[in-house]
Every structure is written in C-alpha cells, then in structure tokens.
Amino acid sequence: MTLAVFLLAALLSPVEHYTPPRPSFVGIHIAMPEDSAFLIMRRIAVRYDTLSLDSLLLLESDSVQVFGQPAYIQLQLLHHRVHTIVINWHPLGGTGYVGLRDVLQSYLERYFGRGVIMSDETLTYHRWETEDGTSELSHSDKYFRIFVRLGKPR
C-alpha cells in the first residue's frame, strides 16, 4: 500500500471519538490534562496553591486576569484531568463589569444555547445542563461567577 492510499483512507474514515467544543478561559478548559493546567496556571498567575483531597486536587489562584478583570480561579482536577473550573471575578466599577457580564453570557450561550435564567432579589443565574456537564453563570451588582463542570466521563 502506498503512502498516498494510506493518507486518503485516513482522511475519508470517520472520526471515532468526537469531543464537542468546550469553552476555554485563559486557555484552560474542561478535560485538560493536569500538567497542561499547571503550565497555564504558572503562566497566568502571580501566585497559586494546591490542595490534595482524597482523589481530588485543587489548584487555586486569586491573582489572575480573565478577560481583563481581576479574578480568583479554582481548578478541580480528578484522575489527572480538569474536572471543574470556578472563576470568581472581583469586578472593578464602571462599565467594564457590565460589559464583561454580557460578553461572558453570550460566550457561554454560543456553546450551550440559551439555558435557564432564574432570578431572586439580587442574584441572577444562567444555567445550562448538557450531557457534557453543568455550567452556570451567576451575577449580581457586586458578584460575578462562572462554574463549568464536566459531565459524564468518556
């Protein structure tokens, strides 16, 4: 078999394991390998810390900039993969906060669709349930958080 025939067969064969696109925040995404998560955290954070709990490893930093706003980021690693991403923004005053909120809401809607929107007195939740997991964007006047969790293991 020649190389050209082999390459043609590889191009025409269907992809066996399709992974749907997942949103990425400062280069970190769900199901990312542990070593890559540490490399990115080392690049984006002034300081970070780890905590081991049974089979879960927490990688945290309160000194990152995500979409131009100061934030706290927590990565929960399970079986040497990023399982959960939690980002809490400490928004600066002004239009930067409102703009960031709107951009992130449309960013997540591009991946997950409209989702469910719930509100109580001061807090608004945008929640998405997919077979890949749970995602949540919650915000108020002084608080802003994104929570993305991996669903069914592959």
Residue 101's φ and ψ, nearest 5 degrees, are -60, -45
CA dihedral of residues 75, 76, 80, 81 (deg, nearest 10): -70
Quick one: what percent of the chain has pLDDT higher than 90? 18
Residue written as tokens 């669903």? 151
Tens digit of each residue's pLDDT, the chain (154 residues)? 576 766 666 666 665 554 545 677 888 888 889 999 999 999 988 889 999 988 899 999 987 888 777 888 999 999 999 888 888 887 666 667 777 778 888 887 887 777 788 888 777 888 877 666 677 777 776 677 878 776 554 4
pLDDT of residue 154: 43
Could you tell me if 51 and 102 are in contact, meaning their C-beta atoms sit under 8 angstroms apart? no
Distances (CA, A) of 101 to 67, 80, 127: 10, 31, 14
pTM of the model: 0.74
DSSP assignment of 83-123 equals EEEEEEE-PPSSHHHHHHHHHHHHHHHHHH-S-EEEE-SS-
